[in-house]
Amino acid sequence: MKRIIVTFFTLFLLNLSAFALEFKIASYNVENLFDLQYDKTEYEEYIPDKTNWNKTILDKKLTNISKVINDLDADIVALQEIESETSLLILMEQTPKYKYYSFIKNPLSSIGLGIISKFEIIETKSIPIDTKNTYSRPILEATLKIDNKLLKVYVNHWRSKAAGESARIPYAKSLYKHISIQNDNIPYIILGDFNSNYDEFQTFLYDKKLNDTKGITAINDILRTTIKGNFITQETISSFNNEIVHYNLWLEIPYYERYNYKFKGTPNTPDSIIISSTLINGDNISYINNSFGVFKPEYIYKKGHIQKWNMDKKGFHKGSGYSDHLPIFASFNTNQKTNIKKTIIKNIDSSKISNLYNIESLSNQVELKNVIILYKDGNSAIIKQQNDRAIFVYNQAKNLSVGKVYDITIDKISRFYGQLQITNIINIKEINANIDIKSLFIDGHKSDLFNYSLQNEIITGFQATYSKRDLHYNNKSIRLYAKNKDILPPQNSQIIIKKGHLSLYNNTPQIVIYSKDDYEIIK
């Protein structure tokens, strides 16, 4: 039986500084940088002098946005929500490190796309969107010359989620078609505001308004960052031969750090940097492993809140804040293939549950040995290996019994709003063993419930007061969730959790109960 192999790449470069140039690329939605000319396409609150959008307020907006860009210090910055070339040029006056720029816009749209660069931009194209929507924003293609090598950058700003997924499909189709007919072999990066999570195929699935495409998503299915529900990864991208597939760099960082925007407090990833196989250890330009990140100094991200541009309820500008998006960035280098040593590959045994948390999807079968059934609810269960982690089994536990030990073979895992789960078991073998499952429960009283390494564990002995959906304890709170609301404890009651599933929902830990027997009311 094959085991899935997790590969960790470490490139050892010989005298890299003498042969290669490292550079950083970023993407930043600046949240409506308008000029002071009246073009009749402005959003109402940005019509000059109708509210208080004037030179004083514009100067404050420019000062704040330019500070972010200057501190970010990327070599190339893709920008969204720029009203005009005039807006871009006055921004560049305060970001003097950037000598080159491109700007495109649909004349009927309120906002356009820009790119500023320390490197020469030798060509700009506007890729039209094949749609009946006359307001659709085109995609900006910029070809840059970096260390005598060429790189294409595709800057995107897709239709917002005020519309269903069908409104974003034409953007992905137009871009993919354009890429497919290129014959120049120039490496490229796709980035910008896609108004789509990197895992949109999972997060939009149960939203009837968004999912008007029968489960097909623009960013995953059309741009092919996933194949049959599995993410394209660094390890798999080269196995598709001449097929055009893409790797989304959000997969580089831990799940709970994957956000650069919050919608009603819920973390989202509307912006992405997506690369092709030519940038994975490429001949001319390569992505620098694990260089992807979110730029969030304290002045734009305080105590879990993005410091967006502030306006009052009447649309008047307060003259403070930055943008409702955080910038994202990644680094690359130019290189000569002969100057790079062979990649060193380290194999890790993924038959341990803990190692599944380092994998986005499975390409082969995995045998998990000696898994103990800690809890079962219907056909779902929580399983654990001794001295290792626990994981949730979704709708595959019909033939499993609490307290028993099994060897199981799986071939599919997925995340549901962040919670890792096994979604297909193809073989079960029962092992004769006597296990005290309570000894494997986590003492909730002594544990940090916000430690992400405890995801999917069963906690016990946790005392708190239940009020307004949350459990309150030691000046902290954590959500208590039950699919059946009738089993939740009375408001303001003090309870002890006897068996609680510590899960994750939208990057936020919560305790899930499945029965009234999972807790005891003490007051």
> Which parts of 288-442 fold into alpha helices (H)?
353-356
Residue 349 has a pLDDT of 57
Tell me which amino acid residue 33 is.
Answer: L
Answer CATH for 348-437 from 2.60.120.10, 3.40.50.300, 2.40.50.200, 3.10.20.30: 2.40.50.200
How buried is 151 (Cβ within 10 angstroms: 0-12 exposed, 13-18 middle, 19+ buried)?
A: buried
The whole-angstrom separation of Cα 460 and Cα 445 is 8
- Where residue 9 falls among pLDDT bands split at 50, 70, 90? very low
Nearest alpha-carbon partner for 23 in 252, 272, 291, 281: 291
Predicted confidence (pLDDT) per residue in 469-482, tens digit: 999 999 999 999 99
Nearest alpha-carbon partner for 268 in 190, 181, 326: 326
| Domain 5-338 fold | Deoxyribonuclease I; Chain A (3.60.10)
Please tell me if the domain spanning 348-437 has the same topology as the one spanning 441-521. Answer: yes
Nearest alpha-carbon partner for 411 in 419, 423, 420: 423
Nearest alpha-carbon partner for 462 in 442, 445, 480: 445
Residue 19 has a pLDDT of 66
- Where residue 181 falls among pLDDT bands split at 50, 70, 90? very high
Going from N- to C-terminal start, the domains of the chain cover 5-338, 348-437, 441-521
| pTM of the predicted model as reported, rounded to 2 decimal places | 0.88
Three-state SS across 57-123?
HHHHHHHHHHHHHHHHCCCEEEEEEECCHHHHHHHHCCCCCCCEEEEECCCCCCCEEEEEECCEEEE
Nearest alpha-carbon partner for 497 in 475, 467, 522: 522
Predicted confidence (pLDDT) per residue in 262-272, tens digit: 998 889 999 99
Answer yes or no: CATH 2.40.50.100 is held by domain 441-521. Answer: no
Q: What distances in angstroms separate CA 372 from CA 104, 350, 437, 459, 497, one per listed residue?
A: 58, 17, 8, 15, 21
Mean pLDDT of the chain: 92
Structure token digits, residue 472: 């309150």
The whole-angstrom separation of Cα 276 and Cα 78 is 18
- Determine the Cα angle at 238 with ends 237 and 243, to 5°: 80
DSSP for 320-340, written as a single string: ----SS--EEEEEEE--GGGB
Quote helix, strand, coil % in the chain, to nearest 5. 15, 40, 45
Report the SS3 class of residue 317: strand
How buried is 75 (Cβ within 10 angstroms: 0-12 exposed, 13-18 middle, 19+ buried)?
A: buried
Predicted confidence (pLDDT) per residue in 313-372, tens digit: 999 999 999 999 999 999 999 974 433 333 333 344 568 999 999 888 887 899 999 999
Q: What are phi and psi of 82, to 5 degrees?
A: -105, 125
Residue 203 is given by DSSP the state: H
Structure token digits, residue 238: 């080269």
Nearest alpha-carbon partner for 346 in 37, 10, 33: 10
Predicted confidence (pLDDT) per residue in 121-163, tens digit: 999 999 999 999 999 999 999 999 999 999 999 999 999 999 9
Work out the number of other CB atoms within 10 angstroms of the CB of residue 130. 12
